[in-house]
Amino acid sequence: MNKIIGIDCSPKVEAAVSDMLGGKCDIQFERFHDEMNFNGYQMIILEMGANQEYVSQQIRKLRYACNFKNIPIILIHDSEKDISSQPYMIAGVTEVLSLYDPLPACKQILSGYLIPNREPLVEELEYLKPFIKNTCHILKTMAAIDVEFKEVYFSNAIRIFGDVSGIMGLSGNVEGTIVVTFYWDMAKTIVAKMMGTEEGAVDAELIHDGVSEIINMISGTTKKEFVDSQYYFEITLPSVVVGPGHQIGHLQDTSVSALIFQVGNQSFALHVCIRPKNSQVNVRRGA
Amino acid sequence: MHIKGYILLINREKKFLETVHKSLLDAGYSVLTATTMSSAVNLLSNNTVALVICDSELNDFSGYDLLRFIKNNPQLEKIPFMFFVPVHDQGNAGKAFKWGATDFIVYPLDGKILIERIGAILSPQDGEAKISISPKEDNREHISPPVNAASPVQKERRENDRIVPKDSINVEVSRDAILWLPGQIKNISKQGFLMETPLLGRPGMFLYIRVQLPNGKCVLESQVRHVSISNHQLLAEIGVEIGASIAWTEVYNYIIDLIDTGKNPVAERLSVSGKIPDIKTISAEKAQPETETIVVIKNNETIYTPPSQPNFNEPPNGKALEIRFYHSLVGKQLGNYKAVSFIGAGAMGGVFKGWDIILERNVALKIISYKLSSIDSFREMFVKEARLVSQLSHPNIAQIYYIDQSDDVFYFAMELISGGTLKDMIKGGSTLNSAKGLEYLVTICRTLDFVSGKNIIHRDIKPENIMIGDDGTLKVVDFGVAVVNDGKNKKGKSENLVGSPYYVSPDCIKGLPLDSRSDIYSLGATFYHFFAGVPPFEGENVEDVLLKHLNEDLVPLKMKNSAVSNWLSDIIAKMMAKNPDDRYQHYKDIIADLDLLMH
């Protein structure tokens, strides 16, 4: 049975959520606090308070507490008015629903997010395994950090809720992007170890250089393993992006893998979106 | 910590001011803030200031101007002066020491180091009141700096005038001209501009800047001169220098003109990639006839969505909920099928590329709209469609493999076709090769002849429902509104208008009982569009087009494309006769005529 946690929900929202999901989910309701732990939960439902900034802060904290795990955060409000979801999506929410939205739609959307994630296809594993191996190896070699691969999930429009990302555009025989994303503290820790300096001395410039180097090395090392395969790619110049809720759009019709790695009790993510140019470009429906 | 007097913090960026202001307050200092030299001078004249910390460039004058002013004023000259300087500007900071500066600190700022440096300059004093002015511009009496202090530098500054736009001006920025990220110009001078962007560059790095001009996009090369990131939850600020060139002059003048006139044509959400996703939402009344109420999402390039610039026009709520529902299923598993990636959404449902885990093959998963799947009659319709198509075992009809419901999600698994549609070919302009076109027309006629032999009417023949696989095989798709013509339709019984306005038959518009001749009309209209490059009838709205189908004479295909033969033009005209009795009555007759034409 799916475990769901409802946070700061009024009796009205509690009743609506129970009505939509109660039969097949174990739903617990709690007040928001800073030390929330979401191990074992498949969904977080938060009721939108009146103060947008406070709600955004709540969402950011919830998203951080998810530690890159693919736990949908659903924000529910009780307003008939059309509320812009943008600030909340930026903060890290997965979906914003109104109690005035059609019940079947809300139910279907929530049910959709609760459907189990799929496992990678064989063809996906073919190119993911080298990335997993090399990410662990590079951080061990460059920063003397033990990295453990935890899980993979898929999307084709992933928003990255880290603080800083290194992005590598791919060219040559394939199209796609490789993106590594860290929370700021994790980035500082890794970059400090890479640069042989104290974390306190790591400034934005060092973060830039370090994160650039990490994505450069992961991409460059992995590229070599694809010689003579359909996934062989050329790398371009890495870009480093900062800012809350930044989103990297990937290729349409191509799965995007989010590989989650763990370092101690923190995590970081590597997104891999890769499509050989000679594979189908324009896939359409059948009947 | 208590000191004798305030720290006067001056920086042209309010966000930066807020951040530093807070950290100084946390460290126990009393702080005044300003963004311009004039307000700083005002504050200096009205308060006891123990330390000035100033940016090298302010909104009105440079920080060096302020330094000279202070050091030339006997009442202020003893106030220690600390500069914020970008890494590349440390040479000027050296000069500043000659003019009396006490210290400088390099961007990007490290809060701890700043507090340490301040501690080294200021001796803690007891007994001072703690007063803080919030980081807003001081609007009291404006005091201009003395002429003798400002004039020499002012003259130089005129070359460097920074102009601050009232409204945001959007540009795009890239390291490699592949991944484009958004930027917003904060101020601009003839040497370059300062922008806010999620791209964290570093001084010295080369960047491409893309600017939308009225006559197209202009790409400039620039070099990062200054990077400021005061808080990782905020975007970075990057100052770029752009070398003199005709292109830059054009861009500069254009932006200055925008600022002067208050217009901001680039504020209509610049794409941050080569292409913004093409998302159409068309209401029934205002529908472009070709497209009906379909939301198409295409995205062939890497897109970055900045927090302030969503890359979508949010569709009306109902359609938005539909799309959101489909997106909730990406990366999930429905029964024996993995939903690999979302392909697009139509009126009936969303389509995914899927993987059959049992048979280990690619499939197309058609997820039925939650709205429709919750209505019994529609569920029946989809089951009927599945049954209909399952009867149609033909190499040119996409096959249906399975239909099921999983976790309340109703879906079909179908043959996945890699390739494009006739519509894509029309768009690509490859419509005038009549030999290929004739071959396609014959193939589709044979396919629909097979369909009509099963007493099935497709009712939605149009270019997007004819696919051309990568191997060149044609496939008729989307039997979602097909019906069985079982002879039970009575004359005069009104039917709903089904189909797409550019291709719909007059009999269908009139609500008459339909037979295969309706599909013949639609096929004629489809290939008219294919050969002519334009649909047979166009109009301002759906109603216009439908009326033309009913009443307006068809312009002969030959007149639209002189390369086609009169014979082909006549065949298409006969397929599109207004009266079903004047059309070809059977596909075989069309094929016979086409065969004559081809041989």
What's the token pair of residue B12?
A: 């042209």
Reported as a single tens digit per residue, the pLDDT across B29-69 is 888 888 888 778 777 876 778 899 988 888 777 888 888 87
ipTM of the complex: 0.73
Tens digit of each residue's pLDDT (9 = 90 or more) over B284-326: 222 333 333 222 222 222 222 333 333 333 334 556 677 788 8
In DSSP notation, B269-317 reads T--SSSS--EE----TTT--TTT-S---EE--S-EEE-TTS-SS-PPPH
Closest partner CB to B305 (pick from A101, A169, A247): A247
In this complex, is the C-beta atom of B378 within 8 Å of any C-beta atom belonging to chain A? no
Low-confidence ranges of chain B (pLDDT < 70): 1-4, 46, 87-94, 123-161, 176-179, 230-234, 261-320, 346-347, 430-433, 486-497
The answer to whether A112 contacts B328, with C-beta atoms less than 8 Å apart, is: yes
Is A23 in CB contact (< 8 Å) with chain B? no
Q: Which of A205, A241, A248 sits opposite B108 (nearest CB)?
A: A205
- Report the candidate in A284, A227, A130 with the shortest Cα–Cα distance to residue B417: A284
Closest chain B residue by Cα to residue A256 = B341
pLDDT of residue B293: 22
Which are the contacts of A153, defined by CB distance < 8 A and separation ≥ 6? A70, A117, A257, A258, A260, B331
Residue A285 has pLDDT above 50, yes or no: no
CA B322, distance to chain mean position in Å, is 19
Q: What percent of chain A has pLDDT over 70?
A: 91
Specify whether the CB–CB gap between B529 and B426 falls below 8 A.
Answer: yes
* DSSP β-bridge partners for residue A247: A159, B305
pLDDT at B91: 64
Residue A244 is predicted with a pLDDT of 64
Q: Give the pLDDT confidence score for residue A154 in this predicted structure.
A: 86
Interface of B with A in 268-287 (CB under 8 A): 273, 277
Q: For the segment A240-268, what is each residue's pLDDT rounded down to a tens digit?
A: 988 766 666 666 667 789 999 999 888 99
pLDDT score recorded for residue A252: 61
Say whether pLDDT at A194 is over 80: yes
Taking the CA atoms of B327, B330, B336 and B337 in sequence, report the sign of the dihedral they define.
Answer: positive
Residue B280: the pLDDT is 23
At what angle are helices B63-71 and B37-46 packed, to 10 degrees? 30
Report the pLDDT value the prediction gives residue A74, as an integer from 0 to 100. Answer: 94
Q: Is the full-model pTM beyond 0.95?
A: no
The pLDDT of residue A159 is: 63
Interface touch B419/A280, C-beta < 8 Å: yes
Residues in chain B within 8 Å Cβ distance of A170: none
Average pLDDT, chain A: 86
Is A278's pLDDT higher than 70?
Answer: no
Measure Cα distances from B84 to A28, B64, B107, B363, B411 in Å.
51, 11, 7, 60, 61
- Whether chain B has a CB inside 8 Å of the CB on A95: the answer is yes
Determine whether the interchain pair B307/A184 forms a contact, defined as Cβ–Cβ distance below 8 Å. Answer: no
* DSSP per-residue letters across A193-255: HHHTS-GGG--HHHHHHHHHHHHHHHHHHHHHHTTTSTT-EEE---EEEESTT-EEE--TTS-
